[in-house]
């Protein structure tokens, strides 16, 4: 009997963050729906109680059904029969159980049969799902595409599709093409308007589409003939019931093998335009990707959780030289670092989710009524923070998932290299997280702006201002010193005004911001819950200090003219 919510006190800690009061009050519009829906909360405590209960259900389904199926799903995987994807039997069972448990359409409004839960709750369920089966986490979390449909679709589209998602139909986002990966502006899939039938028609090929045989697709296509860049792209909704899209093949991947990655052919597929023409990439897909990046942060965090549990269990059990290997410093250090990186990952995951919650809900409220000036300020503040924290967290958490699963195998020694233990699966699954939805290198491109404009720095100062328990004074002083280093490093690079050089050092600057931000967040967690987080706060700050000083040394001793030794000719 395992419940992935109840056995993990850090989830409960993050669910009960002080900012939740504001988030829930906004999300529930001051609890106005209690009159109308017999499952809507009456007040904050009632809502939190419901989140608790639903997280417990999610933890139960994931712990009891998804986790035991994971190994078999990894080995069996999906297949293509007559141009359609057939999921592994375990995947079918997982989808059925999560649907029966009512865990689809978690964050959709009640009027479309959703639960109207905040992003924090949705992300928490993803975090748990990834710990059990990272591939399944994708299929389940793609329900978040409904968020984009809700944000930009018209009322008829919302009514047509969102209740179907809430009833368990799956979604996909069809973006990538053979020649348009990181550079989505190059998308070629053609959308033409069919006057006779008053609909759009899609023709072309998409590649690397996660869950590409889903029920409802969001498709990026070129609607403006003759254009070559992102401004000629629009977003479309394709309904599988209409037909016209076939699965040519699925990729044979290294990891997340339960999640089918499809090559799709569109032959005159009927589609609806979602939102306005030409805004497909520049507005809608950017929003879609931000949501997806948060989802991948959760996936990476869940994988780190799995790696930590597997590593510590093995190290306690395995005896060499007459004692458990966990007693050797070389091993316990690795475990302490895995745990610290895990706790740090979770800290920024939920901090970012809260930022996203506040601004997204306010944006939604803005469609209903005019916002008060202070609400507008609030929206602006959190939108900027979400924009800054999403790429930072995506970069940090997915790299940590790789490091943690790698170390998990290392702790297992030779056994970890065998298929007998799940750590090799975690390792393979983690490898994609810092690649898809934007590689770490691309997250750095998004995050460096906030290094240069000072978003991270001012947030560090906000954290520094927090009143904490005196026991944390030592760590806080050490962190303040790191901020000083960071404050010197940024202008040192930026003042060169040499864009190529700034790009060259960008990852180092973003990482130092990441180390400091994550350290502060762990400090806040330790302040609110010393028992759970004070060890990780100590370990992480020590690690962060060494990392930031390493970066400082590198940047300070680097001669701009040395770039030529790196540049490949």
Report if residue 42 touches another protein, rule: CB under 8 A: yes
Nearest to another protein of 106, 219 (CB atom): 106
Report if residue 46 touches another protein, rule: CB under 8 A: yes
> Is 130:301 a contact under the CB 8 Å cutoff?
yes
User: In the bound complex, what is the minimum distance in angstroms from residue 251's beta carbon to another protein?
Assistant: 32
Nearest to 397 by CA among 342, 441, 436, 448: 342
Nearest to another protein of 132, 451 (CB atom): 132
Residue 222 C-beta-side C-alpha neighbours within 13 Å:
21
Report the chain's terminal Cα–Cα distance, integer Å: 59
Stretches 96-104, 408-416, 462-470, 541-549: which one binds another protein (CB under 8 A)?
96-104
Stretches 48-56, 279-287, 300-308, 480-488: which one binds another protein (CB under 8 A)?
48-56
Nearest to another protein of 36, 370 (CB atom): 36
Alpha helix (H) ranges present in 238-285? none
Residues 375-394 that bind another protein (CB under 8 A): none
3-state secondary structure of 104: coil
Q: How many CB atoms lie within 10 A of CB 445?
A: 16
User: In the bound complex, what is the minimum distance in angstroms from residue 425's beta carbon to another protein?
Assistant: 24
User: In the bound complex, what is the minimum distance in angstroms from residue 147's beta carbon to another protein?
Assistant: 18
Report if residue 167 touches another protein, rule: CB under 8 A: no
Report if residue 6 touches another protein, rule: CB under 8 A: no
CA distance 262 to 252: 10
Stretches 98-106, 274-282, 390-398, 542-550: which one binds another protein (CB under 8 A)?
98-106
Residues 434-473 that bind another protein (CB under 8 A): none
Stretches 101-109, 137-145, 297-305, 502-510: which one binds another protein (CB under 8 A)?
101-109
Longest dimension (CA), the chain: 80
CA distance 6 to 250: 36
> Is 433:499 a contact under the CB 8 Å cutoff?
no
CA distance 156 to 142: 21
In which region does residue 463 sit, left (phi positive, over 0), alpha (psi from -120 to 50) or beta (all else)?
alpha
User: In the bound complex, what is the minimum distance in angstroms from residue 103's beta carbon to another protein?
Assistant: 6
Q: Which two tokens stand for residue 25?
A: 């009050």
| Residues 6 or more apart in contact with residue 524 via CB below 8 angstroms | 347, 463, 466, 468
Burial readout 216-242 (b: 16 or more C-beta within 10 A, e: otherwise): bbbbbbbbeeeeeebebbbbbbbbbee
Our measurement of the distance from residue 471's CA atom to the centroid of its chain's CA atoms, rounded to an integer in Å, reads 33
Q: Which two tokens stand for residue 81?
A: 């029969």
CA distance 36 to 264: 43
Report if residue 19 touches another protein, rule: CB under 8 A: no
Nearest to another protein of 106, 513 (CB atom): 106
CA distance 551 to 489: 9
CA distance 47 to 353: 18
Nearest to another protein of 97, 445 (CB atom): 97
Nearest to another protein of 108, 326 (CB atom): 108
Stretches 36-44, 71-79, 393-401, 546-554: which one binds another protein (CB under 8 A)?
36-44
Report if residue 49 touches another protein, rule: CB under 8 A: yes
Our measurement of the distance from residue 550's CA atom to the centroid of its chain's CA atoms, rounded to an integer in Å, reads 28
Nearest to another protein of 62, 311 (CB atom): 62
User: In the bound complex, what is the minimum distance in angstroms from residue 60's beta carbon to another protein?
Assistant: 6
User: In the bound complex, what is the minimum distance in angstroms from residue 210's beta carbon to another protein?
Assistant: 24
**DSSP code at position 229:** S
Report if residue 39 touches another protein, rule: CB under 8 A: yes
> Is 465:476 a contact under the CB 8 Å cutoff?
no
Report if residue 95 touches another protein, rule: CB under 8 A: no
Nearest to another protein of 60, 387 (CB atom): 60
Site for another protein (CB under 8 A): which residue of 6, 19, 48, 97?
Answer: 97
Site for another protein (CB under 8 A): which residue of 101, 371, 494, 502?
Answer: 101
Report if residue 41 touches another protein, rule: CB under 8 A: yes
Nearest to another protein of 114, 302 (CB atom): 114
User: In the bound complex, what is the minimum distance in angstroms from residue 63's beta carbon to another protein?
Assistant: 11
3-state secondary structure of 241: helix
Residues 50-89 that bind another protein (CB under 8 A): 50, 53-54, 57-58, 60-61, 65
Residues that bind another protein (rule: CB under 8 A) add up to a total of: 22
Report if residue 115 touches another protein, rule: CB under 8 A: yes
Residue 229 C-beta-side C-alpha neighbours within 13 Å:
2
Binding site for another protein (CB under 8 A): 38-42, 46, 49-50, 53-54, 57-58, 60-61, 65, 97, 100-103, 106, 115
């Amino acid at each position: 009997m395992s419940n992935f919510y109840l056995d993990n006190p850090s989830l409960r800690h993050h669910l009960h963050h002080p900012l939740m009061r504001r988030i829930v009050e906004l999300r529930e519009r001051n609890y106005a729906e209690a009159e109308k829906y017999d499952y809507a909360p009456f007040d904050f405590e009632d809502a939190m109680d419901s989140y608790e209960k639903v997280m417990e259900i999610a933890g139960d389904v994931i712990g009891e059904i998804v986790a035991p199926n994971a190994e078999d799903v990894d080995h069996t995987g999906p297949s293509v029969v007559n141009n359609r994807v057939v999921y592994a039997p375990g995947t079918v069972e997982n989808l059925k159980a999560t649907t029966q448990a009512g865990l689809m359409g978690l964050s959709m409004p009640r009027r479309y049969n959703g639960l109207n839960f905040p992003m924090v709750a949705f992300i928490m369920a993803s975090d748990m799902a990834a710990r059990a089966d990272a591939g399944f986490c994708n299929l389940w979390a793609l329900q978040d595409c409904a968020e984009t449909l809700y944000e930009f679709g018209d009322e008829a589209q919302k009514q047509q599709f969102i209740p179907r998602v809430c009833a368990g139909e799956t979604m996909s986002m069809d973006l990538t093409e053979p020649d348009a990966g990181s550079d989505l502006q190059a998308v070629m899939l053609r959308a033409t308007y069919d006057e006779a039938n008053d609909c759009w028609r899609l023709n072309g090929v998409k590649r690397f589409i996660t869950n590409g045989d889903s029920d409802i697709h969001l498709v990026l296509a070129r609607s403006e003939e003759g254009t070559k860049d992102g401004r000629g792209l629009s977003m479309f909704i394709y309904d599988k019931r209409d037909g016209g899209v076939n699965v040519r093949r699925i990729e044979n991947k290294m990891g997340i093998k339960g999640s089918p990655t499809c090559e799709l052919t569109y032959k005159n597929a009927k589609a609806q335009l979602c939102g306005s023409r030409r805004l497909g990439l520049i507005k809608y897909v950017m929003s879609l990707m931000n949501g997806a990046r948060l989802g991948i942060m959760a996936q990476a965090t869940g994988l780190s959780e799995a790696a930590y549990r597997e590593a510590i269990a093995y190290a306690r059990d395995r005896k060499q030289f007459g004692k458990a290997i966990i007693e050797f410093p070389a091993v316990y250090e690795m475990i302490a670092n895995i745990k610290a990186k895990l706790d740090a990952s979770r800290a920024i995951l939920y901090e970012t989710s809260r930022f996203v919650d506040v601004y997204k809900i306010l944006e939604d409220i803005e469609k209903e009524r005019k916002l008060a000036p202070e609400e507008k300020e609030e929206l602006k503040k959190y939108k900027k923070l979400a924009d800054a924290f999403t790429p930072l967290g995506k970069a940090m958490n997915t790299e940590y998932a790789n490091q943690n699963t790698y170390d998990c195998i290392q702790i297992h020694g030779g056994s970890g290299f065998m298929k007998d233990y799940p750590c090799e699966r975690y390792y393979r699954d983690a490898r994609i997280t810092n690649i898809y939805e934007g590689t770490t290198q691309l997250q750095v491109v998004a995050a460096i702006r906030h290094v240069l404009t000072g978003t991270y720095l001012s947030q560090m100062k906000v954290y520094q201002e927090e009143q904490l328990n005196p026991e944390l004074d030592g760590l806080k002083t050490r962190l303040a010193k790191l901020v000083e280093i960071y404050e010197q490093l940024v202008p040192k690079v930026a003042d060169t005004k040499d864009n190529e050089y700034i790009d060259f050092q960008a990852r180092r600057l973003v990482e130092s911001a990441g180390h400091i931000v994550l350290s502060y967040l762990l400090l806040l967690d330790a302040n609110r819950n010393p028992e759970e987080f004070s060890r990780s706060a100590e370990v992480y700050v020590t690690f962060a200090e060494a990392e930031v000083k390493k970066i400082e040394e590198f940047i300070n001793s680097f001669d701009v003219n040395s770039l030529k030794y790196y540049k490949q000719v």
